[in-house]
């Protein structure tokens, strides 16, 4: 979907229940001092920044707001910030980038909990384009065969061209050997200019369905939100807003830790909710959608814009 223009701020709240419809972030800055913002589906589609997103983040920064990017990406903070800078986002606008991948890396390096201590050091990594940088330099050995592994780790997925069925033999082999899995990106789908694509979390979900044991890092699990709040210690939780496009990850994750949230309609659920990118969902579409949702946000945004 491409942008058609600004959605009306006068859409009103009738038919949206307790969810407040807001046309832009300028309506929320007086209520919040800190913002935890998703990237894919909110700031960009992986190829281009969404219309108005760069301006919105810049204006939040200039207003003195604290901004933490929270992503389920398996890539490092440095890689993500470089990619976002290429799309027009100045790294100086953000206080910190918190990613599921680096959360997993830290856990594998520290081995503080029983799950990670029991994993061993030889791992078979599911990656995108062979990128294993996330697990380098922390005492792990990446092996080329599941048969040689002591555990599995999902960092990325080659989708396209690969489908879930293409990974099934590897998942079956890991389950047959009783290997545990670390998921460094629990997203099930990701946005792209071509629509939604399979994401790494789908492999972990399938592995669980086979009976495999999986440890998930990232949203919607509470630990990663504590890292975000630690990056903005002067902001009390009641003055922090989480912004995202995934009910199952962004909105549910915020609800689990007691944070208010704003749902962006122009992300992974856009095809279900709107006819044109940047529109506010019609009340009947929203009602049908939210009735099946795992959590309800405080606010509904058409897109991340000022």
Q: Which two tokens stand for residue 294?
A: 């795992």
- What is the structure's pLDDT at 196? 81
- What is the structure's pLDDT at 14? 66
- What is the structure's pLDDT at 13? 54
- How far are the Cα atoms of 12, 157, 204, 218, 265 from residue 198, in angstroms, in the given order? 35, 8, 12, 17, 19
Nearest to 173 by CA among 142, 198, 130, 207: 207
Name the CA dihedral angle for 237, 239, 245, 247, rounded to a multiple of 10 degrees. 50
CATH code, 18-72+219-301: 3.40.50.1000
Nearest to 135 by CA among 155, 111, 116, 118: 155
CATH code, 102-216: 3.40.50.1000
The model's pTM is: 0.82
Nearest to 33 by CA among 233, 167, 215: 233
Nearest to 228 by CA among 187, 184, 258: 258
Residue-level length of the chain: 306
Place of tokens 């079956």: 172
- What is the structure's pLDDT at 3? 43
3-state DSSP assignment of residue 148: helix
- What is the structure's pLDDT at 75? 80
Q: How far apart are CA 19 and CA 40, in angstroms?
A: 23
What tens-digit pLDDT sequence spans the chain (306 residues)?
434 443 333 344 568 999 999 999 999 999 999 999 999 999 999 899 999 999 999 999 999 999 999 999 878 788 889 999 999 999 999 999 999 999 999 999 999 999 999 999 999 999 999 999 999 999 999 999 999 999 999 999 998 899 999 999 999 999 999 999 999 999 888 878 877 889 999 999 999 999 999 999 999 999 899 889 999 999 999 999 999 999 999 999 999 999 999 999 999 999 999 999 999 999 999 999 999 999 999 999 999 999
- What is the structure's pLDDT at 5? 40
Burial class (CB in 10 A: 0-12, 13-18, 19+), 136: exposed
* Upstream peptide bond of 160 is cis (omega within 30 degrees of 0): yes
Kindly report, as residue ranges, where domains of CATH 3.40.50.1000 are found in the chain.
18-72+219-301, 102-216
Place of tokens 């902001």: 235
Q: How far apart are CA 166 and CA 148, in angstroms?
A: 20
């Amino acid at each position: 979907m491409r942008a058609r223009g600004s959605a009306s701020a006068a859409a009103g709240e009738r038919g949206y229940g307790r969810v407040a419809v807001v046309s832009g972030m300028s309506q929320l800055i007086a209520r919040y001092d800190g913002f935890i913002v998703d990237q894919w589906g909110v700031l960009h589609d992986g190829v281009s920044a969404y219309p108005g997103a760069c301006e919105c983040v810049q204006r939040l920064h200039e207003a003195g707001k604290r901004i933490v990017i929270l992503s389920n990406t398996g890539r490092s903070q440095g890689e993500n910030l470089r990619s976002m800078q290429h799309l027009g986002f100045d790294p100086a606008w953000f206080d910190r980038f918190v990613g599921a991948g680096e959360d997993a890396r830290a856990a594998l390096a520290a081995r503080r909990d029983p799950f990670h201590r029991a994993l061993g050091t030889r791992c078979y990594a599911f990656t995108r384009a062979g990128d294993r940088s996330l697990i380098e330099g922390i005492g792990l050995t990446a092996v080329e065969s599941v048969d040689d592994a002591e555990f599995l780790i999902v960092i990325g997925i080659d989708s396209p061209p690969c489908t879930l069925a293409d990974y099934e033999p590897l998942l079956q082999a890991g389950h047959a050997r009783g290997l545990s899995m670390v998921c460094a990106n629990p997203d099930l789908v990701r946005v792209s200019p071509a629509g939604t694509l399979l994401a790494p979390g789908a492999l972990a979900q399938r592995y669980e369905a086979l009976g495999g044991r999986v440890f998930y890092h990232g949203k919607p699990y509470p630990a990663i939100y504590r890292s975000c709040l630690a990056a903005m210690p002067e902001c009390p939780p009641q003055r922090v807003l989480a912004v995202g496009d995934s009910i199952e990850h962004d909105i549910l994750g915020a609800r689990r830790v007691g944070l208010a949230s704003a749902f962006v309609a122009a992300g992974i659920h856009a095809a279900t909710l709107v006819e044109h990118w940047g529109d506010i969902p019609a009340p009947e579409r929203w009602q049908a959608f939210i009735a099946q949702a795992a959590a309800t946000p405080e606010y509904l945004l058409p897109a991340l814009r000022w």
